[in-house]
Chains A and B, each alone.
Chain A
């Protein structure tokens, strides 16, 4: 057992409690137990107890991975010189959050028939054909048609199975053009999608802008542009893209861009009307679009406070045998907000391979009072986050901030994470996470940019109204 102190990040602003360092068997990396106290403001103010003796993982601190792992732990001078002390705060708070990834001990299966892994169905159908195409491509990596086919097939498989490995294979197929500034149009479009799956919105947009210069009447690209801009909260630009699309596209295509934009820019009623108007036709002619329309109808109805209509749409959209989807997660939140955690848990408990569903399952189990199950889900989540961090990436801020707030109960960290995430994307859940964290952390000032944003676009959402009232102390 080693011992070191991380007592103060800056002489007068943040002081840290002691950090105790232990090694435990069965952990991937050394484990730390932390007792953190943060003094904000003057030295005389009582410390704010952040977390006491929670176990954590060193490698969480991406910036100081190696130095923290060594007993000679220290915060790198770079972070101390940054004006943002909150960065330091979040770094160390991250430390407080992590727990030991219980990487299971290797074992020797006793039964030859023990199923270790189930492969995605998409691999079975057409997997061989794809493999042979991939091999052809390996011999002729600059074959544009082949590369495009292989990449889009893998992209589709990634989308179906939610396994990012397939995106990696798609990226490999685009290898010769991955960094090329003058990639052919078709490649640009695929590359944009891959970057988007990686939440690399700006890069994805850059590729799409370049693409529409060459193919100005490609509806798909314009829909994509307006959607990425909307996710980023750049509604004015998104509306411009929608207008461009409206000049030539069919009404069903325009709808894809228009409905979600209207919903967040003060025209939720109009968005709802548009769906109602298109739905009968869609049921007849494009049944594939119906789930999306139901999702939109459910979410917009919920935002307008029409719970009955919302629930009807959620249930219809889910159908008889739902898989994990945006709709399922949204409906789970709907149930959780209405003290129906039992139903929420039933809905997601078979889909915990999906991280968003796992998060909700943990929250639901906690609300139901099943602590054992909640703990189990929570440690699975921690495990996933840690393994993502270990490879040098970051877990999705939307999940991570909610995890910090609702499961770990560390509002300051949740706020930091939510703010960081909100810089990147500003969809309803992202906004809500920030507002809730600001309330829990007693930092109404942090909600100011969000309030301004919502006011600017007249976003309608009864959930936000409730939170804003709380912030304004009404």
Chain B
């Protein structure tokens, strides 16, 4: 709860020789409180920024650079008659010095070729903290440049809180970037690379979804448990070699992938939509069925057929995740593909961990009793609880 110190009082006091000592102390304390008042005052304005608007899409790159008059006053001195007001006449008369000073501190290149920058017009605009000089620049770079490099060095030496704000727009892609004393260079990649980063991001999302999606992991594991065994005369027997086991696994995973890719695509394109809870509950049901089938193989279906049938359901589950992430038609194919690749990579990771262990243990009692039997029971119970949760909208399990 403080105030802004009254400076005229300070000055009056300081001029009064009778009170020199007391005054000094007061000024000290007052100064302090004036400073401290900033915590209450918050910023009346913001610190210094310049706005570098780059517009692509046309024949040539168009660049507009807004620099605060207060900054130019500090850098060059605009108020030639020292009356405290900066007029248009004063600004106009400094056009050459402003252009020289500013362009000395900005380098731009388009697709690796340095742009020749020239001030075509000097205008004025307002930002939230006051008036700005607008330098309309002619840059001889092509409007469809895919890589724009910027090297910016305005004011940083004099004001480390200054920021250069780059606003790029080419009609379909726009982005903003902040240049600071610690990052004065910018490599601005326009549209093409955004597809790459979209792809990369969605691959990562796919992997991540498998990693946090316990239901998919459990489904996959309950499908994989019997893959290192063969059913002979009502008994599970270990497979003899690694090759047939891995072949079986490959078949299961591939079929699962094909199935869920089909429904993922159908759902994302909105050809088929199913209510979320039905999909989620059916996914839980699919886990129950596969794990029970491991205990009592009653289904007249082999592993890959189950994988296909239920893969269709899991695809709808993936689709809900993908829709929640947000999609646009522009990058739909890329994100769909990326997400799918990510899901496969996630599955592959599980297989790579699971298969060698399962293969090594396949002949043991431990594998038959603990992993196959007890494991399947546990998985079935968890899945059953999921199913109840998802139908009834309760929360039972912590995951």
Contact = CB atoms under 8 A, between A and B. Distances in A.
A197 B88 contact: no
B127 A103 contact: yes
Contacts of A231: 39
A391 B49 contact: yes
B127 A164 contact: no
Contacts, number: 318
Contacts of B130: 117
A196 B88 contact: no
A30 interface: yes
Contacts of B9: 287-288
A325 B13 contact: no
A77 B204 CA distance: 9
A116 B92 CA distance: 11
Chain B at the A interface: SS class: mixed
Nearest to A43: B393
Interface string A106-140: 11110111111111010110000000001000000
Contact of B85 (A101, A118, A162, A380): A118
B46 A387 contact: yes
B161 to A, nearest CB: 4
Contacts of A317: 3
A414 to B, nearest CB: 17
A220 B178 CA distance: 37
A28 B167 contact: yes
Interface-central residue, B6, B324, B329, by most chain A CB under 10 Å: B324
Interface string B16-48: 000100100111111111111111111111111
B332 to A, nearest CB: 9
A106 B64 CA distance: 10
A380 B126 CA distance: 11
Interface of A: 2-9, 11, 19, 23, 28-30, 42-44, 59, 65-67, 69-75, 77, 81, 101, 103-109, 111-119, 121, 123-124, 134, 155-156, 158-165, 167-169, 171-172, 175, 178, 193, 196-197, 199, 201, 219-220, 223-224, 227-228, 231, 250, 252-253, 256, 260, 263, 285-289, 291-292, 295-296, 299, 317, 323-327, 330, 353-356, 380, 383-384, 386-388, 390-393, 396, 398-399, 425, 427-428
Interface of B: 1-7, 9-10, 13, 19, 22, 25-49, 51, 53, 64, 66, 69-71, 73-74, 79, 82, 84-89, 91-92, 121, 123-131, 134, 136, 157-163, 165, 167, 169, 172-176, 178, 180, 194, 198, 201, 204-205, 208, 212, 276-277, 320, 323-331, 335, 393
- What are the 8 A-B residue pairs with the smallest beta carbon separation, nearest first? A162-B44, A112-B89, A168-B159, A168-B161, A396-B42, A106-B123, A71-B328, A109-B88
27 contacts: A5-B327, A29-B174, A43-B276, A66-B176, A103-B51, A106-B123, A113-B89, A116-B69, A117-B73, A118-B85, A119-B79, A156-B31, A159-B31, A160-B34, A162-B43, A164-B47, A169-B158, A220-B32, A228-B39, A253-B25, A256-B33, A286-B26, A288-B5, A295-B3, A354-B41, A384-B128, A425-B39
